[in-house]
C-alpha cells in the first residue's frame, strides 16, 4: 500500500516532508513489535535498531530465566503482582513461551532469583517502549 503523507518538520523548520514511500500500518508495527521483540522496527526497515532491540530484550529475558526469576501470573489480589504481570506480559511471545514451558514458577528463595525477576520485568518494559517507538515511526509522529 502506497500512501502520500505530509507532516510538518520540527519547530523552526520551514516546509513539509513529502513521504511517498510504502508505509506499514502503525497498528501492525505496534502489535508485531510487542509479540516479537524488534519486529516492529524490522517491518519498518530499521534493521540495526531491530537487531539491537531483539538482542537486548531476549538476552535480558533469558538472563532473568537463568537466574530463576519469577514469571508473574494474573493476580487481582496483590497490586505489586499485577504490576509484575504487566511488566512480564510486555515481553510478548517470550512470556507466553515461558508460561507454557513452566519456567519461572518456583518461589523466589534466594536473592539472585529476585534479580532474575527484575531482569524479566525490565525486558518486558523495554519491549513495550520499543513497540510504541515502532508505532510512532510508522505513524509519522517521529522521524528516524
Residue 138 to residues 68, 74, 78, 93, 101, Cα–Cα distance (Å): 37, 31, 37, 22, 34
Encode 14-33: b = buried (16+ Cβ within 10 Å), e = exposed. eeeeeeeeebbebeebbbbb
Phi, psi of 22 (to 5 degrees): -70, 135
Which residues does residue 5 pair with via DSSP β-bridges, in sequence order? 19
Instruction: Give the pLDDT confidence score for residue 3 in this predicted structure.
Output: 52
Instruction: Give the pLDDT confidence score for residue 1 in this predicted structure.
Output: 47
Question: What cell numbers appear for 47 in the block?
Answer: 534493521
Instruction: Give the pLDDT confidence score for residue 15 in this predicted structure.
Output: 47
pLDDT digits (tens, 9 = 90+) for 37-49: 999 999 999 999 9
Instruction: Pick out the chain residues at pLDDT < 70.
Output: 1-22
Amino acid at each position: 500500500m502506497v500512501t502520500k503523507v505530509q507532516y510538518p518538520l520540527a519547530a523552526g523548520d520551514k516546509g513539509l516532508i513529502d513521504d511517498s514511500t510504502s508505509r506499514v500500518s502503525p497498528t501492525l508495527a505496534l502489535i508485531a513489535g510487542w509479540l516479537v521483540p524488534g519486529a516492529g522496527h524490522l517491518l519498518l526497515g530499521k534493521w540495526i535498531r531491530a537487531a539491537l532491540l531483539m538482542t537486548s530484550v531476549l538476552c535480558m529475558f533469558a538472563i532473568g530465566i537463568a537466574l530463576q526469576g519469577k514469571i508473574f501470573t494474573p493476580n487481582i489480589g496483590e497490586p505489586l503482582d499485577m504490576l509484575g504481570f504487566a511488566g512480564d506480559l510486555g515481553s510478548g511471545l517470550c512470556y507466553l513461551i515461558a508460561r507454557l514451558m513452566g519456567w519461572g514458577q518456583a518461589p523466589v528463595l534466594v536473592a539472585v532469583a529476585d534479580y532474575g525477576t527484575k531482569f524479566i520485568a525490565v525486558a518486558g518494559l523495554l519491549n513495550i517502549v520499543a513497540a510504541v517507538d515502532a508505532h510512532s515511526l510508522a505513524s509519522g509522529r517521529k522521524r528516524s
